[in-house]
Amino acid sequence: MRRLPRRVGRVLLALLAVLLMAAAGLALVAYLPAGDDRPHPFNQDRNAVWLEHRWLERAHTEEEIAALVRELRGRGVRYAYPHVIPFDRGGRLPPHDREQMRRFLAVARREAPELQVLPWVGGLRVGWRRQKHGSIELGDLGQRQRIVAECRGLIDEGFHGIHLNVEPVGDGNVEFLSLLRSLRTAIGEQATLSISAIRPGPIALPVAPNFLWTPGYYARVGAVADQVVVMAYDTAIPTPAAYTRYVGWGSRRASVALRGSSRHARLLMGVPTYDETGLMHRGDVETPAGSLRGIVQGLRGGAGDGTFEGVALYAHWTTDEKEWATYDRLWRGR
């Protein structure tokens, strides 16, 4: 058997050393404990929570609504996003209970005047999943105009603003920006324009443009919206430590990106409290504790100055008492 030339052997050894170092680095990122659970100043009780659609679409007594509102106030929630039926293909909201909307708003104003109620509207984009056909076609100008008109009608009912959740929106999508600009004009400067944002990433992914938003797109969105709520979950990250590190990086990067926008939109980081396990989300990886520790770690050193506002729990109907206790301890210092 012929021996390899000495120079080739050295190259192979060097390559092997690099591969071993890379593997060790990945192992550290994936498994070395991460996050920060020390006391911190970041909570100002300006947090948010997504609510299920029944609160605006099914009749509830004033006592039931008051109990919910008092609970939210006691948990440091400033923004409530109750779901409204998604827009249909015509850009209209299907029939829903306007009387219940008015009842909910009246009780909320009485029990917690500081609580902002922003109806959660939007829907799935057409064609992004074969098994879910979707109803939103951002390239349809007529549909966008009707969506804007429906949102203006919700503002006229007395809501404090709109929380728009269209999924998924690819990085750099200009039709989505056009929809935001039209909404900004229609609802007025006094109303809050809030959006659900795709998770941040350092670069665009040509093979998966809907998976990440780059800092540049965050800045463009932040130039129009008042509030950007990052859906920092469904990442497909395989280990808790790696997920916590990602949330820390994302909190810092999104906050810095919004600081550079002309409007200085406020940032809220989404915290998952649902337990379903699948390809994109594993309940034992994307946990409230890991998410909150990552957010605190990412905000250390002033990254959130001027832009960061709070966290947003997804969702109220999946958050149990143990998870509320984790939120109180790690985020609110209680």
Give backbone dihedrals phi and psi of 184, rounded to 5 degrees, phi first: -55, -45
For 305-334, write each residue's pLDDT tens digit.
Answer: 679 999 999 999 999 999 999 999 999 999
Residue 282's pLDDT is 93
Give yes or no for a cis peptide into 86 (omega within 30° of 0): no
Residue 134's Cβ-count burial label (10 Å; 0-12, 13-18, 19+) is middle
Please, which residues bridge with residue 48 across strands?
79, 312
For 217-230, write each residue's pLDDT tens digit.
Answer: 999 999 999 999 99
Residue 58's pLDDT is 93
Residue 19's pLDDT is 44
| Domain extent listing, the chain | 45-330
Of 22, 16, 35, 27, nearest in space to 299 by CA: 35
Determine contact, residues 108/145, Cβ cutoff 8 Å: no
Residue 96's pLDDT is 87
Determine contact, residues 53/83, Cβ cutoff 8 Å: yes
- Dig out the tokens for 1 from the structure: 């058997």
Rounded to whole angstroms, the Cα distance separating 168 from 178 reads 16
What single-letter amino acid sits at 183? L
Which superfamily is assigned to 45-330 in CATH?
Glycosidases (3.20.20.80)
Determine contact, residues 165/121, Cβ cutoff 8 Å: yes
Rounded to whole angstroms, the Cα distance separating 55 from 53 reads 5
Please, which residues bridge with residue 80 across strands?
49, 117
Please, which residues bridge with residue 161 across strands?
192
Q: Write down the residue that tokens 């109907």 correspond to.
A: 317
Going residue by residue through the chain (334 aa), what tens digit of pLDDT does each one get?
556 566 655 555 445 444 443 333 343 445 476 789 999 999 999 999 999 999 999 999 999 999 999 999 999 999 999 999 899 999 999 888 999 999 999 999 999 999 999 999 999 999 876 567 899 999 999 999 999 999 999 999 999 999 999 999 999 999 999 999 999 999 999 999 999 999 999 998 888 989 999 999 999 999 999 999 999 999 999 999 999 999 999 999 999 999 877 777 999 999 999 998 898 999 999 999 999 999 999 999 776 667 999 999 999 999 999 999 999 999 999 9
Rounded to 10 degrees, the C-alpha dihedral 220/255/46/62 comes to 40
Determine contact, residues 81/163, Cβ cutoff 8 Å: yes
Residue 58's Cβ-count burial label (10 Å; 0-12, 13-18, 19+) is exposed
Residue 18's pLDDT is 41
Label each residue of the chain as H, E or C: CCCCCHHHHHHHHHHHHHHHHHHHHHHHHHHCCCCCCCCCCCCCCCEEEEECCHHHHCCCCHHHHHHHHHHHHHCCEEEEEEECCCCCCCCCCCCCCHHHHHHHHHHHHHHCCCCEECCEEEEEECCCCCCCCCCECCCCHHHHHHHHHHHHHHHHCCCCEEEEEEECCCCCCHHHHHHHHHHHHHHCCCCEEEEEECCECCCCCCCCCCCCECHHHHHHHHCCCCEEEECCCCCCCCCHHHHHHHHHHHHHHHHHHHHCCCCCCEEEEEEECCCCCCCCCCCCCCCHHHHHHHHHHHHCCCCCCCCEEEEEEECHHHCCHHHHHHHHHHCCCC
Give backbone dihedrals phi and psi of 35, rounded to 5 degrees, phi first: 105, 170
